[in-house]
Amino acid sequence: GMSDLRGDLFSLYQRAGLRGDPLVFIFTDQQIFHEAALVYFNDLLSSGVIPDLFAQEDKDNVINAIRAEVKAAGVMDSSDNCWEFFIDKVQRNLHVVLCMSPVGSSFRV
């Protein structure tokens, strides 16, 4: 369900943004099972930022975890800079593949 999707995306962001793991996230049109999932996928594909993916406490944990790396890169380690640095790493390391089938009525006009 949605909580599984949210958890999977959260984990992908952690791995791509904090550990720097290069990842490919593949999903099909059949996996868009709920309108809210479509919003997540749209945000992921358009900007890489999913607004409600991280609770404030989780966001604070990410900021604290990446602070030393931000400083080492010569960037001022403000919360905003740390978060942007994290999102930039996610965008560099997380690649998204959307597979769509022409079979079925979902995407036909």
Residues 23-40 have pLDDT tens digits of 999 988 777 777 778 888
Nearest Cα to 16, choosing from 96, 94, 108?
A: 94
Task: Give 55-60 contacts, CB < 8 A, sequence gap 24+.
Answer: 58/10, 59/83
pLDDT band of residue 105 (cuts 50, 70, 90) is: low
- Number of domains present in the structure of the chain: 1
pTM of the model: 0.85
Give every CB contact of residue 15 below 8 A, 6+ residues apart in sequence: 21, 23
Asked, for residue 95, whether it belongs to a domain, the answer is yes
Asked, for residue 106, whether it belongs to a domain, the answer is no
Domain membership of residue 36 as a residue range: 2-99
